[in-house]
Amino acid sequence: MSNTWGKLFRITSFGESHGPGIGIVIDGCPAGITWDSAYIEKQLQRRKPGQNKLTTQRKEEDIPQVLSGIFEGKTTGTPITLWIPNENAKPQDYEHLKDVFRPSHADFTWWKKYAIRDFRGGGRASARVTAGWVAAGAVAELVLQTYTSIQIRAWVEQLGPIKLPPLDCIPSREVIDSSALRCPEAETSKQMEAFLQAIRKNGDTVGGVIYGCASGVPAGLGEPLFDKFSARLAQAMFSINAVKGFEIGMGFAGACRKGSEVNDIMSYEHGRFFTLSNYSGGIQGGITNGELIYFRVAFKPVATILKEQPGVDKEGKPVIIKGRGRHDPCVLPRAVPIIEAMTALVVTDFLLLDKARKGC
Amino acid sequence: MSNTWGKLFRITSFGESHGPGIGIVIDGCPAGITWDSAYIEKQLQRRKPGQNKLTTQRKEEDIPQVLSGIFEGKTTGTPITLWIPNENAKPQDYEHLKDVFRPSHADFTWWKKYAIRDFRGGGRASARVTAGWVAAGAVAELVLQTYTSIQIRAWVEQLGPIKLPPLDCIPSREVIDSSALRCPEAETSKQMEAFLQAIRKNGDTVGGVIYGCASGVPAGLGEPLFDKFSARLAQAMFSINAVKGFEIGMGFAGACRKGSEVNDIMSYEHGRFFTLSNYSGGIQGGITNGELIYFRVAFKPVATILKEQPGVDKEGKPVIIKGRGRHDPCVLPRAVPIIEAMTALVVTDFLLLDKARKGC
Amino acid sequence: MSNTWGKLFRITSFGESHGPGIGIVIDGCPAGITWDSAYIEKQLQRRKPGQNKLTTQRKEEDIPQVLSGIFEGKTTGTPITLWIPNENAKPQDYEHLKDVFRPSHADFTWWKKYAIRDFRGGGRASARVTAGWVAAGAVAELVLQTYTSIQIRAWVEQLGPIKLPPLDCIPSREVIDSSALRCPEAETSKQMEAFLQAIRKNGDTVGGVIYGCASGVPAGLGEPLFDKFSARLAQAMFSINAVKGFEIGMGFAGACRKGSEVNDIMSYEHGRFFTLSNYSGGIQGGITNGELIYFRVAFKPVATILKEQPGVDKEGKPVIIKGRGRHDPCVLPRAVPIIEAMTALVVTDFLLLDKARKGC
Amino acid sequence: MSNTWGKLFRITSFGESHGPGIGIVIDGCPAGITWDSAYIEKQLQRRKPGQNKLTTQRKEEDIPQVLSGIFEGKTTGTPITLWIPNENAKPQDYEHLKDVFRPSHADFTWWKKYAIRDFRGGGRASARVTAGWVAAGAVAELVLQTYTSIQIRAWVEQLGPIKLPPLDCIPSREVIDSSALRCPEAETSKQMEAFLQAIRKNGDTVGGVIYGCASGVPAGLGEPLFDKFSARLAQAMFSINAVKGFEIGMGFAGACRKGSEVNDIMSYEHGRFFTLSNYSGGIQGGITNGELIYFRVAFKPVATILKEQPGVDKEGKPVIIKGRGRHDPCVLPRAVPIIEAMTALVVTDFLLLDKARKGC
């Protein structure tokens, strides 16, 4: 139940970190979309491990195989299944964690839920499953590129205490990727890198904030009351591992603002309605208003640290836990394409719903 | 589609601000729960307008009528429908807004979505519809009280720039309600009142933050991957009017923390696993861990202000807009029971799902 | 959960036979449809009790009140709620059945499911709830009439052993209604009436078959694999009280036919593909092919008979049960508009889905 | 959307007849169920092609690979994915059908729906996809065997004009399989075989009826109103290729019976309620009553015949169509395990729902 997401453009996720692989079924993709495997692989490359010395050294090619749904280079309207084999799984690295509950991991909670748990690298709770989401998000982008000029971007805005100042314009993915940390401003990126190197050397980890946005989204998307655009975007973001906060538009900063300061005054020119400011983040009453949709996602620090920490095992006996294996000191750079993917899925699903809402 | 929420404990919301009334259908409530209309009315009283001079002066009794589902004082397992007639509707107050798009309201977006719109007091986009949710949340609490000792609370933590310092313990609803602003600390509450009076006199409005929590929730609730407890709680909160941010546990503050600082170390005593700290806010890997669930919800300022603002009408012509009618300078005190209601719904739905997950 | 039906055009049903009334929430109706209350009432009149001496003598006007969703004579895209008060409820007629399980009723099964049961006239298990469905189906027909030339019809084809010979053309609702039994052929109708009078005088009841059809439905509706048009139509029909069989096209008769006899040969003329025969009933591979959709629905005899029958009470003690109150000797004439309503709902829901399937 | 089935025990189907293979994702299977691959393979063997000279000669081993969800021999509560590679695909056999609409196939309807179609062996419309359903149904049976003593059986009751007389008891699967046609009575089976041989030699095909049943299902399963046990069973059966009719209990035969004849009188003995007859087929008011659930499913003849038939191509030009490749003269023997699988899925899903319905 819980491994399926979406109303009309639906994904079903399966697979574990150290099992045979990771998969995704995409159901509801319009027929006739030209298949662009290079595009999908490109987004997966942005998420894959081992990109540089600041990410985990697990080596995975993450080239998806098409198991169904594509025929003669086009989508057919039937379920598209992508399968990403696990190549560099090292389950033995996790044998020592078999009976142990690591701090701030899903070990204890999954065990309480299922009374059984694939402990190898987090099993199903691993962020490795998001590889399938990134692939699905890239397929959603193929749909968006076929029918619209919608553009989706995300980048690292904050890493630990270091914050990116406001940008003048939306950077391209190339610019974003020119930073190892996917922070599209050279000076800030450098500071973040230095900070992260220090954190890493110390065996520690750090959190941060990703800024995401979608431009070109038409007004009228979102389904009141419970499937507001903002509500489903929030849910999608909180599906991502380690996410602890989400805000749209002015977000938490709006708490100490006055209505007279942050009301987005409307105007009209050249046949188009628009707002003079965009404190709302492109969403009013839960529905898109045609302005830029922008939001922030807060990540907690990676729970696995290369330091000793006290813990307990299944019997409740005290143990000392120390991270081994291959871990990221900070998930944010690799989370950028995940956030883009979930955004693309939300937008695509709402676009399809909107067609139905316009009558038959 | 979008007016139904929940998997097993489901609500369907209907009604408009200045139509005949507001209703809610609750489907999936277990049979045999003792009906306590006083309890439901009590929560509705906390949401209703006209509670004091700091809220809108619209007069509504908000006593729900039972249209279905209750027999001989008990729930029967069939849909429970509650109907709250609109008594103090004044549609004529809104005639001047018929063709106008107010800033930061849902006027423009609903019009773009539906090409028709009940402009009377926001119609379906009005927060008045949350009366039904509060009623449904109270029914969910009756279920929780029947089977568990789970307690749900919310209060105002920030109003404009004024913030409540951390509390030592979870206050009772009585204590919370002893403050006109539902801020359970006398000194801070007084400051907030003074601040809000000034804002109000100036015809302005302000945002804020509500703190919500649930104690006694068992470990193991939440459905990975896409129906994580945190993901569905986020969605539920973003269903509420004017919400622009949501964070759980350390939330955005976690962005600048290190793993070594905020990992929640586990321990075991007297047959019970627990964590020594609770930066996670009771959620790990999207699943409850048995600790206190706590979170924060950010509200933007009320969009309707009693000052003149420029705007446009449907034809794109400039107009001057000034709020009339009866409006809150700040929605937070009345949003407290709404947040409690949505939390109760999320918890109840997951509890029922958990039963199914344990096998048949 | 189970009281909501539909993907995009959704209905949520509530109410009991002898409670305050019967209601329906319609969510997902396109905005801007002209509201025609006369049309809705007309269909409800066809279902209402007391139409003639061959139906129950319960007197209900069944005029629905609009609780939400209509503004200035049009649908607004928000949930439409219709409420039909119970006026002629006589709960005291059922007091003697409080602890008794009648044969072939839902008494025992509902009690096993919920351990509590509103015994007054079947409570929620009563066919009275279908009043709401008929209202919703009429709204769906308003949508169909706005956008398409789809026509939906149903009539009584078999009552007990008396069968209607094949018709040359699809009769109008007026012709169908000119028969008290809604059998649109005078001679057969007369025979059915005579048969039913005899059954009724004897305190007995009888089953039958309703023929339903939809013309003008475009090719391409239906969602493989599990939401085939035929699969969802079957489900919709089995939602109706007393239904025990459903077949589409040649149905059960196809079991003893050869492929060479019943394959529907395709042809093409004047820019249109069509089939020379229609054994498939307008559905191939679960999807509509543009031909007439036709199907049959089998009803068992009404379980309540005015004769003594042995039974048991909740304690397992033998009792004698004899129907009292106001009952139909045969449900079929009043079931005709119910079948039309469910068909209209299925068609409308698929039409909206089809829009989304065509891409964004 | 449409490729996912179920509320709590959910399957998502993917794959095409002549693509890489057929897959199924099972989401919501309780954790801790002992994995029995032999049991799953056994059911798949009953469905697989090439079993004897009366079925298609396509050679497929149909041994499923586990892609996810099983750990150390047990289910983990995460999605179980089974993958059945296509080994004997011969897409070239279908090249001549590329632009042709075969009679009574899904060719035309899928083309109208998607404007693109994998013509190789029916693509996604092929009954080959049911291999995944049979695998999923076997997993559901593992759940049933873990928690209950529910038994599910199906067999061929009618093939063309030859009908099996009523049986005294429910035969075992071994007895059923001892007949090449899965008709568990030697004499009738022989007649059917002779009949089918004649049909086959003539290049023709024939329809039939399968009888299905489930014993040991507890009373109280089924969700009124729209998710009645019978309604969801009907939907599940109509998901199967070539199904044109479904009836439960007395079904269509009840149309000409009187209430006094077919009411199922209740009785009580040894602490158990039961009915003296079972015309209802174990379902009353849409809910199980604890008696044997039995039903019949009507299949039309296979559309592909080895005779020449007129047809049209995409341009509307007349063509002559003659089946080639490897086809069954009658699908019924191989459909038996499919019907068992869908029944097992319905029962399991409702059992899990029932747990949730009993309160938390």
Q: What is the pLDDT of residue D356?
A: 85
**Cα separations in angstroms, D272 against A286, C133, D218:** 54, 36, 12
Interchain proximity A67–D7, CB inside 8 Å: no
Q: How confident is the model at residue D1 (pLDDT cuts 50, 70, 90)?
A: low
Report yes or no: D82 and D132 within 8 Å, Cβ to Cβ: yes
Interchain proximity D113–A74, CB inside 8 Å: no
pLDDT higher than threshold 80 for residue D91: no
Q: Single out the residue of C126, C128, C132 nearest to residue C11, CA to CA.
A: C132
Spatial distance between the Cα atoms of B25 and B12, rounded to a whole number of angstroms: 5
B1 interfacial to chain C (CB closer than 8 Å):
yes
D217 interfacial to chain C (CB closer than 8 Å):
no
Interface B-D, measured as beta-carbon pairs within 8 A, has a size of 61
User: Mean pLDDT over residues A331-349, rounded?
Assistant: 97
How many angstroms separate the CA of residue B292 from the nearest CA in chain A? 14
D14, D65, D68: residue with CB nearest A68: D14
Residues of chain A with pLDDT > 70, as a percent, come to: 99
User: Mean pLDDT over residues D17-46, rounded?
Assistant: 97
CA closest to B33 among chain D residues:
D359
Spatial distance between the Cα atoms of C213 and C228, rounded to a whole number of angstroms: 17
pLDDT digit string (tens) for A110-129? 999 999 988 888 899 999 99
Q: What residues contact residue B72 under an 8 Å CB cut-off, 6+ apart?
A: none
CA closest to B112 among chain A residues:
A220
Q: Single out the residue of A352, B339, B3, D176 nearest to residue C29, CA to CA.
A: B3
Spatial distance between the Cα atoms of D33 and D26, rounded to a whole number of angstroms: 13
Exposure pattern of C258-293 as b/e (b: 16+ CB <10 Å)? Answer: bbbebbbbbebeeeebbbeebbbbbbbbbbbbbbeb
Domains and CATH numbers, chain B: 4-357 (3.60.150.10)
How many angstroms separate the CA of residue A286 from the nearest CA in chain B? 8
D356, two tokens: 């949730």
D77, D355, D360: residue with CB nearest B360: D355
Interchain proximity A19–D68, CB inside 8 Å: yes
B173, two tokens: 């609803």
pLDDT higher than threshold 90 for residue B327: no
Q: What residues contact residue C194 under an 8 Å CB cut-off, 6+ apart?
A: none
Residues of C in contact with D227 (CB under 8 A): 1-2
pLDDT digit string (tens) for A201-215? 999 999 999 999 999
How many angstroms separate the CA of residue D99 from the nearest CA in chain B? 39
D226, D243, D296: residue with CB nearest C239: D226
B355, two tokens: 């039963």
Cα B56–chain centre separation: 17
Report yes or no: D15 and D127 within 8 Å, Cβ to Cβ: no
Count of beta carbons in the 10 Å neighbourhood of residue A95: 9
Cα B155–chain centre separation: 11
**Cα separations in angstroms, D307 against A70, A129, C264, D204, D271:** 32, 50, 14, 7, 61
B277, two tokens: 């700290």
B154, two tokens: 């919310």
D113, D205, D305: residue with CB nearest C220: D113
Interchain proximity B356–D8, CB inside 8 Å: yes
Higher pLDDT, residue C322 or D173: D173
Report yes or no: D18 and D308 within 8 Å, Cβ to Cβ: no
Spatial distance between the Cα atoms of D75 and B358, rounded to a whole number of angstroms: 13
Spatial distance between the Cα atoms of D6 and D29, rounded to a whole number of angstroms: 11
Residues of C in contact with D124 (CB under 8 A): 224-225
Interchain proximity C359–A224, CB inside 8 Å: no
User: Mean pLDDT over residues D276-289, rounded?
Assistant: 98
Mean pLDDT computed over every residue of chain B: 94
Report yes or no: C109 and D285 within 8 Å, Cβ to Cβ: yes
Q: What is the pLDDT of residue A325?
A: 65
Report the range of poorest mean pLDDT among A282-286, B14-18, C59-63, C78-82: C59-63
Q: What is the pLDDT of residue A112?
A: 95
B146 interfacial to chain C (CB closer than 8 Å):
no
Report the range of poorest mean pLDDT among A211-225, C199-213, D89-103, D275-289: D89-103
Chains interfacing with D (3 or more CB pairs < 8 Å): A, B, C
Chains interfacing with C (3 or more CB pairs < 8 Å): A, B, D
CA closest to C348 among chain A residues:
A360
Spatial distance between the Cα atoms of D124 and D20, rounded to a whole number of angstroms: 12
Q: Single out the residue of A320, B120, B328, A151 nearest to residue C78, CA to CA.
A: B120
Residues of A in contact with C285 (CB under 8 A): none
pLDDT digit string (tens) for A126-149? 999 999 999 999 999 999 999 999
Spatial distance between the Cα atoms of B232 and B255, rounded to a whole number of angstroms: 22
Q: What is the pLDDT of residue B91?
A: 72
D351, D353, D360: residue with CB nearest B147: D360
Q: What is the pLDDT of residue C55?
A: 72
Chains interfacing with A (3 or more CB pairs < 8 Å): B, C, D
B257 interfacial to chain A (CB closer than 8 Å):
yes
Mutation choice for C interface testing from B25, B80, B82, B94 by most C CBs within 10 A:
B25
Interchain proximity D3–C224, CB inside 8 Å: yes
Maximum alpha-carbon separation in chain B? 71
If phi over 0 gives left and psi between -120 and 50 gives alpha, with beta otherwise, what is residue D75? beta
Residue B30, class by beta-carbon neighbours within 10 Å (0-12 exposed, 13-18 middle, 19+ buried)?
buried
| Phi then psi dihedrals of residue D116, to 5 deg | -155, 150
The secondary structure element, H or E, covering residue C237 is helix C229-238
Residues of A in contact with B273 (CB under 8 A): 101, 108, 312, 316
Report yes or no: B130 and B240 within 8 Å, Cβ to Cβ: yes
CA closest to C111 among chain B residues:
B76
Using the Cα atoms of residue C93, residue C94, residue C96 and residue C102 in order, give the sign of their dihedral.
positive
CA closest to B148 among chain D residues:
D360
Interchain proximity D234–C234, CB inside 8 Å: yes
Exposure pattern of B50-61 as b/e (b: 16+ CB <10 Å)? Answer: eeeebbbebebe
How many angstroms separate the CA of residue D152 from the nearest CA in chain C? 20
Residue C186, CB-side half-sphere exposure with 13 Å CA sphere: 0
pLDDT digit string (tens) for D340-360? 999 999 999 999 999 888 877
Spatial distance between the Cα atoms of C108 and C125, rounded to a whole number of angstroms: 11
C113 interfacial to chain B (CB closer than 8 Å):
yes
Q: Is D22 helix (H, G, I), strand (E, B) or coil?
A: strand
Which D residues, 21 through 60, put their C-beta within 8 Å of a C-beta on chain C? none
Helices (H), D12-76: 37-47
Spatial distance between the Cα atoms of B180 and B155, rounded to a whole number of angstroms: 11
Interchain proximity D360–B78, CB inside 8 Å: no
Q: Which residue has the tokens 């954190």?
A: A199
Spatial distance between the Cα atoms of D57 and D34, rounded to a whole number of angstroms: 34
Tell me the one-letter amino acid at D241: N
DSSP for D202-243 reads TT--B-EEEEEEEESPPTT-SBTTTB-HHHHHHHHHHTSTTE
Q: Single out the residue of C13, C281, C51, C41 nearest to residue C133, CA to CA.
A: C13
Residues of A in contact with C352 (CB under 8 A): 356-357, 359-360
Q: Is B268 helix (H, G, I), strand (E, B) or coil?
A: strand
Q: Single out the residue of D163, D182, D155, D126 nearest to residue D343, CA to CA.
A: D155
Residues B170, B171, B177, B179, Cα dihedral to 10°: -100
Residues of chain B with pLDDT > 70, as a percent, come to: 99
Spatial distance between the Cα atoms of C124 and C113, rounded to a whole number of angstroms: 13
User: Mean pLDDT over residues D285-312, rounded?
Assistant: 96
Interchain proximity C14–B28, CB inside 8 Å: no
Exposure pattern of B146-184 as b/e (b: 16+ CB <10 Å)? Answer: eeeebbbbbbbbbbbebbbeeeeebbebebbbebbbbbb
Interchain proximity B355–D358, CB inside 8 Å: yes
pLDDT higher than threshold 80 for residue D110: yes
Give the global pTM. 0.97
pLDDT digit string (tens) for A83-106? 999 988 777 778 888 899 999 999
Query: How many residues are present in chain B?
Result: 360
Interchain proximity B359–D224, CB inside 8 Å: no
Report yes or no: D248 and D281 within 8 Å, Cβ to Cβ: yes
pLDDT higher than threshold 70 for residue D325: no
pLDDT higher than threshold 60 for residue A257: yes
Q: How confident is the model at residue B325 (pLDDT cuts 50, 70, 90)?
A: low
A212 interfacial to chain D (CB closer than 8 Å):
no
| Phi then psi dihedrals of residue A355, to 5 deg | -60, -45
Q: Is D323 helix (H, G, I), strand (E, B) or coil?
A: coil
pLDDT tens digits in sequence order for chain C, 360 residues long: 589 999 999 999 999 999 999 999 999 999 999 999 999 999 999 999 877 777 776 788 899 999 999 999 999 999 999 999 998 877 777 888 889 999 999 999 999 999 998 888 889 999 999 999 999 999 999 999 999 999 999 999 999 999 999 999 999 999 999 999 999 999 999 999 999 999 999 999 999 999 999 999 999 999 999 999 999 999 999 999 999 999 999 999 999 999 999 999 999 999 999 999 999 999 999 999 999 999 999 999 999 999 999 999 999 999 999 877 667 899 999 999 999 999 999 999 999 999 888 877
| Phi then psi dihedrals of residue C156, to 5 deg | -80, 120
Q: What residues contact residue B10 under an 8 Å CB cut-off, 6+ apart?
A: B4, B26, B27, B28, B349, C1, C4
CA closest to A116 among chain D residues:
D76
B235 interfacial to chain A (CB closer than 8 Å):
yes
Which B residues, 64 through 93, put their C-beta within 8 Å of a C-beta on chain A? none
How many angstroms separate the CA of residue A72 from the nearest CA in chain B? 32
Count of beta carbons in the 10 Å neighbourhood of residue D174: 8
Residues B347, B351, B354, B355, Cα dihedral to 10°: -170
A233 preceded by a cis bond (ω within 30 of 0): no
Q: How confident is the model at residue A1 (pLDDT cuts 50, 70, 90)?
A: low
pLDDT higher than threshold 70 for residue D326: no
pLDDT higher than threshold 70 for residue D118: yes
pLDDT higher than threshold 70 for residue D226: yes
Residue C149, class by beta-carbon neighbours within 10 Å (0-12 exposed, 13-18 middle, 19+ buried)?
exposed
| Phi then psi dihedrals of residue B300, to 5 deg | -75, 165
